[in-house]
Amino acid sequence: MGMVGGGPGSFIGAIHRSASQMDGLIELCAGAFSSSPEKSRQSGEELMLDPSRVYSSYDEMFEKELALPESERIDIVSIVTPNNVHFDPTKKALEKGFHVVLDKPMTLNYEEAMELHQIIKSSDKLFCLTHTYTGYPMIKQAKQMVADGAIGEIRKVYVEYPQGWLWKLLEHEDNKQAEWRTDPLRNGKAGCFGDIGTHAFNLAEYVSGLKVAKICADLSIKIPGRMIDDDGAILMRFENDASGILTASQVDTGVENNLKIRIYGDKGGLEWQQEDCNSLIARWPNQPSQIFRAGTGYLTALANENIRTPAGHPEGYMEAFANIYRNFARCIYALEKGEEPKPEWKDFPGAEDGIRGMAFIDHVLASNVSEMKWTPLVVKY
């Protein structure tokens, strides 16, 4: 694997590196880690890479890797840059014959996403978008239980993603992550909803197996001086007429990262939260609730394929991230051998998730500025 981005100060770059190498299926051997050649070289030294395979730009990496014998060059490009540097390296990597893992969201805007979607469809290489939370075993258990009809026809979906790290104007305090994530030129037009709202949206569709058909959005900027949204709520209507509520905030002061989803059908309900990620609660109308636990023998094949340790040994965010890389790598190995990958291996996010996420952002922003949704509350005494 070669990496684009992920140099000094990058939070997500280190996560991708650890996750990709957890199972021994992928080796990091090249990279263009920064737009600064010196910082890229520094990162290569810290990672103990061959200096001849640490590059000043991704264009240089693609060119020089392709000049190597096929057995020596990289197979996969992992792209972990800010959002405004997603489209170009992904497009070029696919066109030059590399598989691509891309950090979400897919692109800076919907127009880029539509173009990239066509490039991915016409390529014979695999594309993966790291919507991390779909990698959790108990999320996969929930997805399969819903698909199997365990909770019946879906009626209601609640998904909540609260964070508190942007509780003040950190982007003015030399915080690199806050700087680019609140800059519309680098992050895109949506702030909180482009960053974590898209994760919540993706999780709602992934677990329910349903597409969102309509939305009604209310976004806001809670911190004076910030340029893009940092808080909001959305009403959703799914294709089967189920209703949903999605909330996301990065200004819930003191909150860490407790993504939650609750989904209810006409036979029962399921509840999961990231802070207790190895548990899945099932609710039933005429019997006690159940708690399903990771690592046990009674889970579905989809969940078990994404578990590494016995019950009682916690697996978390890193393992969920690694599941995406492992499934992606397994599919590449299978295709290279002329074999059909197992269905469980093919369960990783891809181009459709990416383009739906970018469409979601555009429609959320459009709904937010529409006054049609507001009915004045007038009380006469």
- What is the residue type of 269? G
Reply yes or no: is the peptide bond before residue 343 cis, omega within 30 of 0.
Answer: no
Q: What average pLDDT does this structure show over 57-82?
A: 97
| Unique residue bearing structure tokens 């540097």 | 85
Interval 235-259: pLDDT, tens? 999 999 999 999 999 999 999 999 9
- pLDDT for position 375: 73
Report how far residue 27's alpha carbon sits from residue 23's, in angstroms, rounded to the nearest whole number.
10
**Which band of pLDDT confidence, cut at 50, 70 and 90, is reported for residue 378?**
confident
**190 phi, psi to nearest 5 deg:** -105, 140
Secondary structure of residue 132 in the 3-state scheme? helix
One-letter amino acid of 231: D
Phi-psi region of 48 (alpha: psi -120 to 50; beta: other; left: phi over 0): left
Q: Dump pLDDT digits (tens) for 126-162.
A: 999 999 999 999 999 999 999 999 999 999 999 999 9
pLDDT value at 61 more than 80: yes
Render 19-84 in DSSP notation, one character per residue.
Answer: HHHTTSS----EEE--SSHHHHHHHHHHTT--GGGB-SSHHHHHHHHHTS-TTTS-SEEEE-S-GG
Q: pLDDT, tens digit, for every residue of 12-41?
A: 999 999 999 999 999 999 999 999 999 999
- Tokens 């959790």 locate to 136
Q: What is the dihedral of CA 158, 163, 168, 173, to 10 degrees?
A: -140
Flag whether pLDDT at 165 surpasses 80. yes
- The answer on pLDDT for 299 being more than 90 is yes
**Cα–Cα distance, 222 to 126 (Å, whole number):** 40
pLDDT at 96: 97
Sign of CA dihedral 74, 76, 81, 83: positive
Tokens of 37: 């050649």
Of the candidates 201, 233, 251, the residue with the CA atom closest to the CA atom of residue 367: 233
pLDDT at 23: 97
Average pLDDT over residues 39-56: 97
Give residue 371's pLDDT band: very low, low, confident or very high (50, 70, 90). confident
State whether residue 102 is helix, strand or coil. strand
- Please name the residue ranges forming H helices in 69-159: 87-95, 110-122, 137-147
Contact 167, 222 (CB under 8 A): no
For residues 257 and 243, the answer to whether their CB atoms sit within 8 Å is: no
What pLDDT is attached to residue 26? Answer: 98
Over the Cα atoms of the chain, what is R_g?
A: 21
Compute the average pLDDT of residues 254-276: 97
Q: Over range 102-120, report the average pLDDT.
A: 95
Instruction: Give residue 178's identity as a one-letter amino acid code.
Output: A
Instruction: Determine the pLDDT at residue 15.
Output: 97
For position 9, what pLDDT does the model report?
Answer: 83
> What percent of the chain stands above pLDDT 90?
95
Write out the DSSP string of 241-265.
S-EEEEEEES--TT--B--EEEEEE
How far apart are alpha carbons 282 and 258 in whole angstroms?
Answer: 19
* Average confidence (pLDDT) over 279-306: 96
Whether the per-residue pLDDT at 297 is higher than 90: the answer is: no
Return the minimum-mean-pLDDT range out of 154-163, 192-201, 208-217, 372-381: 372-381
What secondary structure letter does DSSP report for 276? G
Could you report how far apart the first and last alpha carbons of the chain are, in Å?
A: 69
Indicate the average pLDDT of the chain: 96
Distance of CA 314 to the CA centre of its chain: 21
pLDDT of the residue at 202: 98
pLDDT of the residue at 374: 73
Asked if pLDDT for residue 220 goes beyond 90, the answer is yes
Cα dihedral sign, 19-279-159-114: positive
Contact between 114 and 141 under an 8 Å Cβ cutoff? The reply is no
pLDDT bin (cut points 50, 70, 90) of residue 166 is very high
Confidence class of residue 342 from pLDDT cuts 50, 70 and 90? very high
Q: List the strands of the sheet with 127-130, edge to edge.
A: 30-32, 2-4, 76-79, 99-103, 127-130
Residues counted in the chain:
381
pLDDT of residue 227: 96
Give me the pLDDT at residue 288, please. 98
| Predicted local confidence at residue 372, as pLDDT | 76
pLDDT of residue 373 exceeding 80, the answer is: no
